[in-house]
Chains A and B, each alone.
Chain A
């Protein structure tokens, strides 16, 4: 039996649930991960990633020394270099000097618009806060965004419009208090496994009724009283038809509507066409199920709605989310425990990265960059001359990629992997080739880093201190458990070092970068973000605090909107059904929808450098048995999948988990990157791409098309 040298308590770096981890360390390596039974978020339960997936930290492919490309890269001639021989090791001083020179050079020559940064929802609040501060205060641009754009942007815009706040309204564990809950666009059991456990217990132990509305027969369907299998992209008609039935049958909460909302009359008038019959005709969902779902949801004492990326990742993602918000506003299922509108956030710190301003339209705390008083406040806080901060909204992630070759010349990527996560990767690749200068700050040589001029080796979550904010707004401590690997440095420390150099090069007065520890960064965050005003590291021991935390005595906020919405009254907004942008046709007869699997994480930088990859080693396309028979595809057979934008080859998994006409491909696998196929059309307001529906063709291939199969599935 091993005796640990020490056990460090920290927060899981994978999904937005924010489980408490205890890292058992021996010889400066993690050999076991446990969780205490009294952990408030996860009660000692973990998923395969948190429990067994942290071995990526010690992976031999980890980059732990600054690297500089041997061959100078030029716009148009930029290449991907995975081979370490194409790089040389450098000192931090040399690497950061080069980065400073090139970025300030571009800035001085081409101005603010020429630079952009991808911040990171896996990094800490402090890391994100500092990177956006660098970009805004030194390069005077708001061109900073992170993967929230690619996940919940539609939800955020819709919630901000309707309520004035974009976070989960309630605590996930409150599902124990719901008597009805809807799960839609969320494969909860695989993407938020610990919340799924609480949902399963609510159904099995407390008799709660679950309504699943999803095109896939996901595991949660096993626990559902109703499953509404809708065609991808038909969320607005289905949810509007539910609203139609609620209004038609007098199931509305009139008192709530009168006291807390506005725009209902106009909204209810707009529901006329959304009959269950109409919704059935476009979505394929039986009208009876729609009526029943409406009655169950509206008739509940406490009903909650949980959703994930199946709702926002559409060109009409904002409308999809709005159609959910309407249900809560009509029935008053918000502002009490066990109710609410609950967008399940994907990344461990996507809530925090958004809170901390890693977004092109907002300063930290969702204060608009176009708001003069907000800009003035940040100028004072950051020691920037009055009028110095940029008042123009910056570019979103997909817009940044689109602007390369036009305005954007230099790009700083902290921790993200847009060359896997952007839609229509062939297009993204052509854009990246046009960059003048690219810096990547990461643990691994991933698809984006391979394009870079400089790769700065960052510390993993286990090598640094900081905080993550989980999906239900709980700010929790991340604690250093092992020493920095090689010469890797914490993201916040790299950013500070770089900022000081850039300041000096630009001859600017200091904007304050002498932080000795992330706790000092949090002290500054508390000064500029009202929701974090009461957060101090010493208050985060134990189980952390749920924002808003108004002052140093405030206990935190488990659920929001008890009295009012931040914008005052909840706003109804009439919706129209806009079909998916790329309908199926004879050439491309299947709808492709993409997503995650339990064992992997996003672009795979982490999980594919882990034992997790042994568990789920290759991409599989899920195909319904009926479709498989028609397409002549056997279970496990290689197939070629093509869209108008690209082609990939992978194996088919014939399963009832997907409905006829729909195929599912996870986006973690570079050898069969789903995003080569996806559309880069975006929602006009939220700028989120349509990851969840595009048209593809599936062709069976002979066995030698792929290396032989390994692993379990």
Chain B
């Protein structure tokens, strides 16, 4: 099997390692493809679909983070279809959750000119802050459901399996066994979840306390 594959991204011939994803190939070649859920520390799942690209011959848009680069592939990273998908996802997400501490989303909203009020008025996810342990708080009103926390709590890092998903669809949340406080679960407070959280939904109690103090100050 050859070590490298050759593909075309936005008209540029690119050589990349065999087994690399289109995202990895593009980033190595300096082409910027936006991502939200992607984190190199976690197995990619193709959730946010911000990284969708057009691959010649494919009917649908492909998520670059999970699409393997193969010889002869022709990839387009920007087109009206792609922009519509990215922008609409951002607009819908902004109407669902608090993105104020998701810098990647804010940057992409600015970049695409997404209108964050476009889907306002519908249901929002605003569960109360959970401060059930001495180490970190869980403010799922800011959760973007990138899955990273669940993944690092499981076999992407810690093998603690303290958290998982709860519910489904729009009502999916990150939860514990019968909603138990974390100290009553298999949580070992490693904070790998806090370390990979991209949206401020998980943060050290210390940081949260300082924020509360700051926001309480006149």
Residue positions of A touching B, CB distance < 8 A: 1-2, 24, 26, 30-35, 37, 43-48, 51-52, 55, 193, 197, 200-201, 204-205, 223, 598-599, 611, 614-615, 711-712
Contacts and interface: CB of A to CB of B under 8 A. Distances in A.
B188 interface: yes
Contact of B158 (A32, A45, A611): A45
Contacts of A26: 210
Given A1-B100, A2-B210, A615-B134, A205 B204 contact: no
B189 A45 contact: no
Contacts of A34: 195
B168 to A, nearest CB: 27
Nearest to A194: B190
Given A30-B206, A46-B190, 7 more contacts: A1-B101, A34-B195, A37-B41, A45-B192, A223-B159, A611-B134, A615-B183
Given A26-B210, A45-B195, A598 B136 contact: no
Contacts of B206: 30-32, 55
B171 to A, nearest CB: 26
Contacts of A52: 134-136, 189, 191, 204-205
A33 B203 CA distance: 10
A1 B198 CA distance: 12
Interface majority SS on A: helix, strand, loop or mixed? mixed
B70 to A, nearest CB: 25
B190 A193 contact: yes
Contacts of A223: 159
A229 B158 CA distance: 25
23 contacts: A1-B211, A2-B211, A32-B206, A37-B40, A43-B41, A44-B195, A45-B152, A45-B157, A45-B158, A45-B190, A45-B192, A45-B195, A46-B190, A51-B195, A51-B204, A52-B191, A55-B206, A197-B158, A200-B159, A201-B155, A611-B135, A611-B205, A615-B133
A223 B194 CA distance: 25
Contacts of B135: 48, 51-52, 611, 615
Nearest to B206: A31
A371 B133 CA distance: 55
B41 A44 contact: yes
A268 to B, nearest CB: 40
Interface string B129-160: 00001111000000000000000100101110
B40 to A, nearest CB: 6
Contacts of B101: 1
A615 B190 CA distance: 12
Contacts of A712: 133, 183-184
A344 B84 CA distance: 54
A55 B205 CA distance: 11
B121 to A, nearest CB: 26
Interface string B4-20: 00000000000000000
Nearest to A52: B135
A2 to B, nearest CB: 6
B28 interface: no
Contacts of B203: 32
Nearest to B103: A1
A37 to B, nearest CB: 5
